[in-house]
Amino acid sequence: MKTILVLTDFSAHALFALKVAASIAKKISGKINLVHVYQHPALGEEFSYYYTKEYYEEISTDANKQLDQLLDQSFLEGVHVERQVVSGSTIADVLNNVKFKHPDLIVMGSHGRTGYDMSFIGSNTEKVVRLSEAPVLTLKNEIEDFTIDRMVFASNFLDESYHAFSKIKFFADLYDAHIDLLKVITPKDFETTEQSLKLLSDFAREFKLTDYSINVYNDYDIESGILNFSNKTDADLIAIETHGRTGFAHLINGSLAEDIVKHEVKPILSIKMKKTSGNAAKKASSELSSHSWGAE
């Protein structure tokens, strides 16, 4: 069974994500874990008496009613959906919860706002991208007929990229999509065209790609290069890796994937990179023939 995790706060953007998740679930004969998280008010002890057991039961009951309404949506017909209401959890708690752990894909809506957002979706999408071990598909707009004709995979195409690409290639193959392999060159991290083209060519050869193009694109920074190239080619989706940095490392280095999720309106597929060594390319390539999202 292949599992897609969808986190919902009952907003329009969460509904967009659920529609796309349902479309993918039908395509891969998978199931959806639909999870709503409500958090306790962060108030002092003097206010705690207002928030009784009955108060939280009322919130839970209301959430379950809204989940019932979602499950009545026609686009979920024929899709196996398991629903959960979770209280008082952080996004890390949800991702580590044994009930939802190890999904094959997470689909989330995003408001794309840079300011403060009280909703679960608005405040947590970038955190999910950073923390999740599973691929994360982020959507900002409603897509009635989700399909991918052309996708951009932006990377440095070094050893660690080979492992991430196995999941991206599965997604591309699912939609028979053309893949633009993209290497962005910046003044800060200069590389000769010959060096870049060799990395891209070796990568395509290793994975035996057929419907693809190799692209070396110059820009002032990597984020701008990815966004500008993707808009220029009218890509349907951007696939990108994330290191999943947390704590101090995240404060210092930030996250390219999070920034792109924040600023780009196209669907984004982010994959957390794993440190590899030695024969990473050959190992990742050999796994492709047996790779799938979850065990059958």
Digit-coded pLDDT (tens) for 258-283: 778 777 889 999 998 765 544 544 44
**H or E element at residue 218:** strand 212-218
132 and 12, same domain (yes or no): yes
Domain residues for 107?
3-139
- pLDDT in the model for residue 290: 40
Decide which of 176 and 191 is more confident: 176
68 and 191, same domain (yes or no): no
Q: Please tell me the total count of domains within the chain.
A: 2
Give start and end residues of each alpha helix (H) in the chain: 12-28, 53-71, 91-96, 120-131, 159-174, 193-206, 222-232, 247-253, 256-263, 280-287
Q: Is the pLDDT of residue 190 over 80?
A: yes
CB 216 within 8 A of CB 193: yes
74 and 135, same domain (yes or no): yes
Buried b (16+ CB within 10 A) or exposed e, 137-173: bbbbeeeeebebebbbbbbebebbbbbbbbbbbbbbe
175 and 85, same domain (yes or no): no
189 and 102, same domain (yes or no): no
Q: Is residue 270 part of a domain?
A: yes
- The CATH number covering residue 8 comes to 3.40.50.620
C-alpha 107/C-alpha 88 separation (Å) is 21
Most confident among 35-44, 105-114, 177-186 (mean pLDDT): 177-186
Decide which of 38 and 35 is more confident: 35
The amino acid at 143: I
Q: Give the length of the chain.
A: 296
- pLDDT in the model for residue 51: 58
- pLDDT in the model for residue 130: 81
Q: Is the pLDDT of residue 248 over 50?
A: no
- pLDDT in the model for residue 37: 84
Q: Is residue 41 part of a domain?
A: yes
134 and 155, same domain (yes or no): no
134 and 208, same domain (yes or no): no
Q: Is residue 296 part of a domain?
A: no
74 and 205, same domain (yes or no): no
121 and 164, same domain (yes or no): no
63 and 103, same domain (yes or no): yes
Among 52-61, 130-139, 222-231, 265-274, the minimum mean pLDDT is found in 52-61
Q: Is residue 295 part of a domain?
A: no
Q: Is residue 145 part of a domain?
A: no
213 and 183, same domain (yes or no): yes
Q: Is the pLDDT of residue 255 over 80?
A: no
Q: Decide which of 98, 113, 139 is a domain's last residue.
A: 139
